[in-house]
Amino acid sequence: MAHHTGTIGSKLFPTVLYMVAACSAIPISDLLDRASQRSDQLHSLSTTLTQDLDSHLPLTVRLTLPRPSLCHTASLQTPHDKEHALQVSESDLLSLARSLLQAWEDPLGVLSTSANALPHSAQSTISNKIQELREHYKSLGDGLDILSGKMGPQAQTISMLPYTGGNDVGQDTNSQLINLNFLLSCFRRDSHKIDSFLKILRCRATMLPHMC
């Protein structure tokens, strides 16, 4: 058995090395283009999901949704607009994008678990979309890890933004819808920032900075 395991390992190791080498050989501009496409899909899907949930909330309930300032990522200082973002270095922009993305690992798990148990007419559709969201999230995270390795130590810095909301999103249907909607609204906001930062980075890699 030990010999068999060693044989598998000896086959996998060159494969891993080949994949790392292949990724290293891809130009940064191409990696940014792929990451930008994935982040665009991520933001688009989060927007659709938020609209799906929002459409089932009574107007009076929508008005009670928590403010964006209560999102667990609100403490991270990010550029307020495109003009401000253009003044931030490439490494810092990527660091901000990675910090925001990393902060959603646990909350997306809460969203997935909660959606599976949601007493909602569109429960199956919402659950499937959240699962798709998590797949895009993982793919984008892997891509940004590769990018950060090519862009230096500063790009590899991640600000920790722990999620302290717990796994319970409420017992009654309204509470669950409100809390899920709030989480998705926060994610939509952050995914828009990530997408904006990556589009600026892509533009800088392919055009003159003043043209972005």
CA torsion, ordered 184, 111, 48, 148, to nearest 10 deg: 70
Whose structure tokens read 């909330």? 57
Averaged pLDDT, 4-22:
41
Rounded to an integer, the average pLDDT of 5-25 is 43
- All structural domains of the chain: 28-211 (1.20.1250.10)
Hunting for tokens 């290293």 — which residue is that?
Answer: 24
Q: How sure is the predictor about 33, in pLDDT bands with cuts at 50, 70 and 90?
A: very high
Q: What is the pLDDT of residues 165-174, one digit of tens each?
A: 888 777 777 7
59-79 per-position pLDDT tens digit: 766 666 777 788 999 999 999
The CA distance from 156 to 39, in Å, is 18
H helix or E strand, kind and range, residue 15: helix 2-25
Residue 196 in tokens:
């904006």
Query: Can you tell me which residue has the tokens 């665009």?
Result: 40
pLDDT surpasses 60 at 2: no
80-123 pLDDT per residue, tens: 888 899 899 999 999 999 999 999 999 999 999 888 887 767 77
Give start and end residues of each alpha helix (H) in 103-162: 105-116, 123-151
